[in-house]
Amino acid sequence: GIDYAFVPYGDLGVSHRISLNVKFGRTLQEEEEILKKMETKLKEREKTLIDKYKEQAKLNIEQSKFSEAKINLSKVLAMNEKDLEAIESLKSVDAILEQKQKEEDNKTYFKKGLELYNSNKLEEALAEFRKIDLPDEQINSYIKDLQNKIKITNDKREAKKCYEDGISLYNKNEL
Three-point CA angle 154, 146, 125, nearest 5° = 105
Residue 132's Cβ-side half-sphere holds a number of Cα atoms within 13 Å equal to 22
- Bridge-based pairing state of the strands 14-20 and 2-8: antiparallel
CA–CA dist 48, 42 (Å, integer): 10
CA–CA dist 5, 8 (Å, integer): 10
Give the distance from CA 9 to its chain's centroid. 82
pTM above 0.75, yes or no: no
Cβ neighbour number for residue 128 with a 10 Å cutoff: 21
Do the beta carbons of residue 86 and residue 80 sit within 8 Å? yes
Written as tens digits, the pLDDT of the chain (175 aa) is 788 898 888 888 888 888 888 777 888 899 999 999 999 999 999 999 999 999 999 999 999 999 999 999 999 999 999 999 999 999 999 999 999 999 899 889 988 988 988 888 878 888 888 788 766 676 677 777 777 777 777 777 777 788 787 777 777 876 5
Report the percent of the chain where pLDDT is more than 70.
96
